[in-house]
Amino acid sequence: MLARLGSLARIGARIGAEVGTTRSASSNTSPASPLRRRLLWSLGIGSAASLLVVQPSREDLMVAYLTPVRLARDVACAASIVADYYTSLRPDLQGEAREAALRGCHQRGAQRLLQLCFANGGIYTKLGQHVGQLDHLLPEEYVSTMREHLLDRCPVSPPEEVRRIFLQDLGAPPEALFASFSERPIASASLAQVHEAVDHSGRRLAVKVQHAGLRESCAADVATVAALVATVRWIFPSFDYGWLVDEIRENLPRELNFLHEAANAERCRANLEASARGGAKWARQVHVPSIEYRTTTTRILTMEFIDGAGVTDRAALSRLGVSPRQVSLLVAEAFNDMIFRTGYVHCDPHAANMLVRRAPNGAAQLVLLDHGLYKEITDSFRLEYAGLWRSLIFADADGIRRHSAAMNAGDAYDVFACILTQRPWEQIVDTRSDTSRLAIERSPETRAAAAEFMAQYGREINDLLARMPRPLLLLLKTNDCLRSVDHALGNPVNTFAITARECGAALRREQLRHHPGPLVEARMMALSLLMWYGRMQAVLGWNRGADASGETTAGVGSSTAPHTAEVAAA
């Protein structure tokens, strides 16, 4: 270290001398003064010494290179999309011609955004995945393009990179660790790709391998997003998206640690087993693949291989003999249980992260994959959130105002309610209608109304996102994913009935826990019976109509099940 310091000092002295000489030679004045020369020597020595104190890592160098490259791509993509809309939608275009031109702009914009996601990868791919869930807000061209290409068809890492990661993490190539290992991945997502393997006992395994260089590129993504947020705040001081940078910085390192994902999977399985022991029969129909820890590291995750149908692949579900109603019920039960009972929530439930199969006993079984992004919510937040959703479902304006205040919504409780439900305030508090008022319509008109709402209340929405509890941000993302899955299944179940039942049960359990009495057992039994009756209504479709094709309709117009849950909560 001392030798290095001495050599750096000599380098700094030489820099100072050379700069001083150059300065004197290039000037028409007399040679540099002693004061100036001392300053230049100090500058040279200080610059050299900084190389000793601040030794940039490989990640630092990658961030320094990738951040401006990504920013340049962002600006080029945004500029080309805006220019396309500006030049294509001429004032003289009217009627069908304008609609056709607009659809063309949407499709070209979606393709440009897709190419940006592919080029930058990492966070950008995850952003594109979420765009694919927003079919109630964004043009169909953007949604379908992102959904088709970014859920499990992302660019793949070549075999040599996969092999290098195995050698670095496990000290051996995959062919030495498994009886067989398919070089060609069966799926590739934003952070990793999945290979099929067979261990030496003949068991099929799914091996998830992180894309090479992702840690460095994701650090650059965070820096890029931070730069964009700072630019927006500089241009528009009232729009501060610093919370977005905070969320990315907190969650991305966890998603990149596959040991953390394995721990999440184990805890999710334990919660499901606890629910099953507590009498929730549906919990026995939800499966989390087991982990093979001998070949699992921070960048490699080996787990049980699952054959199944995509959760939204209705043709494949039909071949399995599983109805969309059964699947929708399992999804709703599983995630309502996470949110309103256990408080440990899988926050990335898009269609590629869930499968459906026939369990060994012949029952339909939901399989939960990709446990990298979870959020643990406190009991106080969980109960306030349950109270808020019960108030939303039953059009209780006072309850909405009260529980929204606990979420830091303040006087913007009506805007907050609109964000949660994606419905107008007047519709949310309309006590004359049933839960069908909360069903999200997917049409050009509703998308236009949503865009108008966001434009009108953009500042209020930004302020709400900045001050609301952090767990709520990921729950909003979770809600978008679940709505998208339910829509793809045809909305076969009144999921608001299940939500109302679980909210009421959570609040009632808390009330009985703090105010026990001699009739606690009887009241809990009555509550269990009412919850069972509400589930039977959802399962059997009581009080539901049928559409022209004979398939049961969405059922969101059924008011009986929610009111059963309301009785249970009373």
CA atoms within 13 A on the CB side of 500: 31
Task: Write the Ramachandran bin of 494: left for phi over 0, alpha for psi from -120 to 50, otherwise beta.
Answer: beta
Residues ≥6 apart with Cβ < 8 Å to 277: none
Q: Locate tokens 């952003």: which residue?
A: 127
Quick one: tokens of 55?
């030794």
Cβ atoms of 390 and 500 closer than 8 Å = yes
CA distance 165 to 185: 15
Q: Is 110 helix (H, G, I), strand (E, B) or coil?
A: helix
Q: ∠ CA(218), CA(221), CA(222), 5° rounding?
A: 95
CA distance 202 to 453: 56
Residues ≥6 apart with Cβ < 8 Å to 125: 117, 118, 150, 154, 189, 190, 191
**Helical (H) or strand (E) element with 80:** helix 58-88
Given the residues 152, 348, 370, 486, select the one marked as catalytic: 348
CA distance 250 to 257: 12
CA distance 404 to 412: 9
Cβ atoms of 62 and 217 closer than 8 Å = yes
Q: Is 196 helix (H, G, I), strand (E, B) or coil?
A: strand
Active site residue 246: no
CA distance 205 to 197: 5
Tell me which residues are annotated as active site. 348
